[in-house]
Structures are given as structure tokens and as C-alpha cells.
Amino acid sequence: MSDPIFDLDSWEPLFKLSENVALDAKGKLGLRMGENMVMDMESGSMRFTTPWINAQEGEDD
């Protein structure tokens, strides 16, 4: 299981589905664009997040 990821604008949790895809609390998909950025797949807007860290290794994915 990975550490939680949060949207820094709304402070909503993001649930990591794979290495580069997350789901927010409203059911919108997001595509990881960088260590601290997610693109909303519905609107195309960019959102800043907390870092995506792999809990088992303690390192970024």
C-alpha cells in the first residue's frame, strides 16, 4: 500500500490506482505528470499534489 496523496488545492485525497493514475474522491481520474503534478483527465487542468512515494521502497515511483 502506498502513502496517501493529496490535492494541494482542495486537500482531497487521491487514491493511487497504478504507477501513473489516481482517482480523486469525486471519481475523476488523474494522470501523473511529474512528482507533484496531476492532470485531471476530464477537464485537462493541472493540479499540484503531495509527492507520489512508494511506501515499500521509501522512494519516488
What is the pLDDT, as a whole number, of residue 45? 94
b/e map 22-41, b = 16+ CB within 10 Å? bebeeeeebebeeeeebbee
In the block, cell 474522491 appears at: 25
pTM of the model: 0.74
47 compared with 1, residue with greater pLDDT: 47
- For residue range 20-51, list pLDDT tens digits in order: 999 998 999 999 999 899 999 999 999 999 99
Poorest-pLDDT segment among 2-6, 16-20, 41-45: 2-6
Q: Are 3 and 10 a contacting pair, CB within 8 Å? A: no
| Alpha carbon separation from 43 to 12, 26, 30 (Å, rounded) | 17, 13, 10
